[in-house]
Amino acid sequence: EAQVTQNPRYLITVTGKKLTVTCSQNMNHEYMSWYRQDPGLGLRQIYYSMNVEVTDKGDVPEGYKVSRKEKRNFPLILESPSPNQTSLYFCASRGNRGYSPLHFGNGTRLTVT
Amino acid sequence: GEDVEQSLFLSVREGDSSVINCTYTDSSSTYLYWYKQEPGAGLQLLTYIFSNMDMKQDQRLTVLLNKKDKHLSLRIADTQTGDSAIYFCADQYSGYSTLTFGKGTMLLVSP
């Protein structure tokens, strides 16, 4: 089944403790992206990657890192999480050519205390 | 920069039609999408329309595109309680570009 898999689904952590949210897709998509969703603010893009070893900042990249060493994986790294990074995070992927809609993972709800 | 605007909330009765509206600013948008987010889930593609189309119908869903006014609408016929969700409008300039999402419209369907 074609899918985008994020782990974990839920994560509670403390300020300053480094964490990684994993994202993997099995559709051989070139493009992958991370979003955060907050009430009243909709979806905001954090980082995206057009292909392996190519990453770019989205609208809200501060406090986040990403890497794209393999086509299928696009982990989101929070080196020193802060409470304002408490949010619902989504990973998404799509092809790079023509009509290719975004496929979303089921989300990771992160709470930073 | 680009912007996509939606009303935040819509309430309808079961069996009625729902119309969710969206406006966008990028006249070069090539692809326009509607995504649905059910509680606790990710976004799922509901339907899409290309900029060279005025209308697209898919079972209970009708998408209308007014390019002159940069206005997109999603009509759901015979709305059911299972249609209660957040609906996101998004536009995209080309297959290589990122999507710009609206803030989402919460549709509440009451019995």
Residue type, position A79, single letter: E
Tell whether A88 lies on the interface with B, counting CB pairs under 8 A.
no
d(CA B51, CA A89): 30
Say yes or no: A105 contacts chain B, CB-CB below 8 A: yes
Q: B44 and B87 in contact (C-beta within 8 Å)?
A: no
For residue B95, the model assigns a pLDDT of: 66
Task: Using a pLDDT cut of 90, give the percent of chain A over it.
Answer: 88
Structure tokens at A11: 């994560």
The model's pLDDT over A39-63, given as tens digits with 9 standing for 90+, comes to 888 899 999 999 999 999 999 999 9
B95·A98 Cβ contact <8 A: yes
Would you list the DSSP string of chain A? ---EEEE-SEEEE-TT--EEEEEEESS--SEEEEEEEETTTEEEEEEEEEETTEEEE-S--TT-EE--SSSSB--EEESS--GGG-EEEEEEEE-SSSS---EE---EEEEE-
Higher pLDDT, A61 or A97: A61
Residue B83 has φ and ψ, to the nearest 5°, of -85, -10
The residue of chain A with its CA nearest to that of B103 is A42
Chain A CA closest to residue B9: A40
Task: Answer for the pair B91, B31: CB distance below 8 angstroms, yes or no.
Answer: yes
Both structure tokens of B66: 């007014």
> Do A99 and B31 lie within an 8 Å CB cutoff?
yes
Min CA distance, B38 vs chain A (Å)? 10
Beta bridge partners of A25: A4
What pLDDT, on a 0 to 100 scale, did the predictor assign at position B94? 73
Cα distance between residue B81 and residue B76, in whole Å: 12
User: What is the CB-side half-sphere exposure of residue B22 using CA atoms within 13 A?
Assistant: 29
CB contacts of B104 in chain A (<8 Å) are 42-43
In 3D space, the residue among B104, B96, B106 whose CA is nearest the CA of residue B31 turns out to be B96
Tens of pLDDT along chain B (111 residues) come to 578 999 899 999 999 999 999 999 887 888 899 999 998 889 999 999 998 899 999 999 999 999 999 999 999 999 999 999 999 999 888 767 788 899 999 999 999
Query: Cis (ω within 30 of 0) for the bond into A61?
Result: no
pLDDT attached to residue B29: 81
Count of C-beta atoms within a 10 Å radius of residue A26: 12
What are the Cα distances from residue B71, in Å, to A33, A34, B4? 26, 27, 10
Nearest to B102 among A42, A45, A102 (CB): A42
Task: Give the CA radius of gyration of chain B.
Answer: 13
Reference B81, options B18, B6, B9; nearest CA is B18
Q: Give pLDDT, residue A2.
A: 83
Q: What is the pLDDT of residue B1?
A: 57
